[in-house]
Amino acid sequence: MFKRFQQRQEVPPSPSIDTSHKEAIRAIRTRAPVPVDAPGDEPAEPSRDQKRRQKLLDVKVDLHRRLLETLNLSVLDKVPEADLRREIAIIAREGLREMSMVLNAQEVEQLNSELYDEVTGLGPLEPLLKDQTVTDIMVNGHSQVFVERHGKLELTDTQFKDERHLLRVIDKIVSAVGRRIDESQPWVDARLADGSRVNALVPPCAVDGPLLSIRKFSQKKLSIDRLIENGAFSEEMAAYLQAVVATRLNVIVSGGTGSGKTTTLNALSSFIDNSERIVTIEDTAELQLQQVHVGRMESRPANVEGKGEVSQRDLLRNALRMRPDRIIVGECRGAEVIDMLQAMNTGHDGSMTTIHANSPRDTIGRIENMMAMTGVDMPLRAMRNQITSAVNVIVQVSRLSDGSRRMISIQEVTGMEGEIVAMQEIFKFQRDGVDADGRVVGAFMPTGIRSSYSERFRQWGYDLPASIYAPRRSA
């Protein structure tokens, strides 16, 4: 039997295979990732430019030490910027002379600017923080800094002198918001003064050096119209979502990391009437609500002694006593989901939150898991009944392969069918492929199913035309 199997394996490929099929396979294979050097390969000799850059980095670190020894750091925030820059330039010039280091005018100007950033800001990261095209900054150890531009990752020339230099910047970030990071507490969530979200992880948990991630705070509030222009969703979807939010249906925005959940939540909140009182609860405050009456709350980790923690669940329970019309939780990820569902069920309709999940159906499962992890002894059917009575609409967002962020599905929770949570999809993104430039090609499509809340919309003055639900063929 084994011999017969061998003989079958030795039969040459059939000549009837279509050549176009082979060409398609070959085209896919040519898109394979570029191989990296094998572990045993000798590292390339540093180029002249790399040596020069390393030398300048060494000089900058030495001058920064001199600045810290010379300047009165306690009054830096009171000194005019021009005076501080002038003083830094004088100290730097003296230091360069002592080191017998000769720089050209451009290098001196850049050095003085970087020294100013080291003293007043976050050192090498400052230019990236000021770059409006950068949305995320990811530091993998002191010698590797990536950024995201237009949804794509790219490696930058930015480097830190060494691990101690990077740790000093991380400590500067977390201490500014009263948090700490060390071996006993090796990770931390924080935010910068402008609202940018920060996550840091240090050794021993970070194996190859400290890891730092910064999700930059957008200075421009992305309105619904701007998101439509950017192709995030269609006008029909926007009209439907306006009716959903204005008629106080409870909404969950679901998606993966970096898919645009918070941006979508911000945009949806613009449909809330200015007369309503809104309370927001977040681990790291980043929501940019545009209403007048907003109470913002942020959780707090435990102190060095392990005391003083204020969780999102604590804040959510407190929020119920603050007479909110709506409660918006930046992200449900644990026990607070039970209190969120109870709030949605007990008069705080029109509330919203985000959840990490890959589809609307996965969102239901994720809520069930979070409820189960709290230790609440509740039958599965009872859990699902609570979910269906609290959650009305799930908005699924996704970051596609070309870096664009799209609203790929809007589904309504319609009740229970036996033991299963019943849902119906109202809109979806129909993906057709990618073009020659790698951009995703597709269209936003109604599914042809009329909203189960159409009568509610009409009663509240949002009589959506039946045509927005009419199915149509993709172009």
Say whether both 112 and 140 belong to one domain. Answer: no
Residues 6+ apart with CB under 8 A from 305: none
More confident residue, 2 or 341: 341
Inside any domain, residue 42: no
Determine the Cα–Cα distance for residues 179 and 188; give it in Å rounded to an integer. 8
25-46: average pLDDT: 55
Give the pLDDT of residue 2. Answer: 38
Residues 6+ apart with CB under 8 A from 263: 218, 222, 227, 405
Nearest to 327 by CA among 346, 345, 310, 344: 344
Inside any domain, residue 60: yes
Q: Which of 12-26, 84-98, 202-216, 359-373 has the lowest mean pLDDT?
A: 12-26
Say whether both 238 and 211 belong to one domain. Answer: no
Residue that is last in its domain, among 167, 193, 219? 219
Say whether both 278 and 147 belong to one domain. Answer: no
Residue that is last in its domain, among 204, 219, 234? 219
Inside any domain, residue 98: yes
Res 227 pLDDT > 70: yes
Say whether both 388 and 451 belong to one domain. Answer: yes
Give the pLDDT of residue 6. Answer: 44
Determine the Cα–Cα distance for residues 150 and 408; give it in Å rounded to an integer. 19
Q: What is the CATH number of the domain that holds 315?
A: 3.40.50.300
Angle between helices 48-70 and 105-120 (to 10 degrees): 50
* Distance from the Cα of residue 394 to its chain's centroid: 19
Nearest to 287 by CA among 251, 337, 328, 340: 328
Confidence at 23, pLDDT banded by 50, 70, 90? low
Q: Which residues of 258-297 are buried (b: 16+ CB within 10 A; e: fewer)?
A: ebbbbbbbbbbbbbbeeeeebbbbbbbbbbbbeeeebeeb
Q: Which of 61-75, 112-126, 169-183, 277-291 has the lowest mean pLDDT?
A: 61-75
Nearest to 368 by CA among 341, 344, 343: 341
Inside any domain, residue 9: no
Say whether both 240 and 128 belong to one domain. Answer: no
Express each pLDDT in 125-142 by its tens digit: 888 888 888 989 999 999
18-45: average pLDDT: 55
Provide the domain limits for residue 144: 122-219
Say whether both 162 and 258 belong to one domain. Answer: no
3-class state of residue 411 by DSSP: strand
137-160: average pLDDT: 90
Residue that is last in its domain, among 120, 136, 159? 120
Res 38 pLDDT > 60: no
Inside any domain, residue 300: yes
Give the pLDDT of residue 434. Answer: 87
Say whether both 241 and 289 belong to one domain. Answer: yes
Express each pLDDT in 279-328 by its tens digit: 998 887 778 787 888 899 888 877 767 778 888 888 888 888 888 889 99
Say whether both 151 and 288 belong to one domain. Answer: no
Inside any domain, residue 24: no
Say whether both 67 and 209 belong to one domain. Answer: no
Determine the Cα–Cα distance for residues 310 and 287; give it in Å rounded to an integer. 19
Res 385 pLDDT > 70: yes
Percent of the chain with pLDDT over 70: 85
Find out whether 366 and 356 touch, Cβ atoms under 8 Å.
yes
Q: Which of 39-53, 153-167, 224-238, 249-263 has the lowest mean pLDDT?
A: 39-53
3-class state of residue 446 by DSSP: strand
Determine the Cα–Cα distance for residues 318 and 316; give it in Å rounded to an integer. 5
Res 8 pLDDT > 50: no
Residue position matching structure tokens 């990391």: 257
> Pseudo-torsion of CA 264, 266, 269, 275, nearest 10°?
180
Q: What is the CATH number of the domain that holds 214?
A: 3.30.450.370
Inside any domain, residue 26: no
Res 427 pLDDT > 50: yes
Give the pLDDT of residue 397. Answer: 95
Say whether both 103 and 136 belong to one domain. Answer: no
Find out whether 264 and 407 touch, Cβ atoms under 8 Å.
yes
Predicted TM-score (pTM) above 0.75: no
Say whether both 353 and 400 belong to one domain. Answer: yes
- Average pLDDT over the chain reads 82
Res 413 pLDDT > 60: yes
Confidence at 426, pLDDT banded by 50, 70, 90? very high
Inside any domain, residue 35: no
Domain total for the chain? 3
Give the pLDDT of residue 46. Answer: 63
Res 366 pLDDT > 90: yes
332-361: average pLDDT: 88
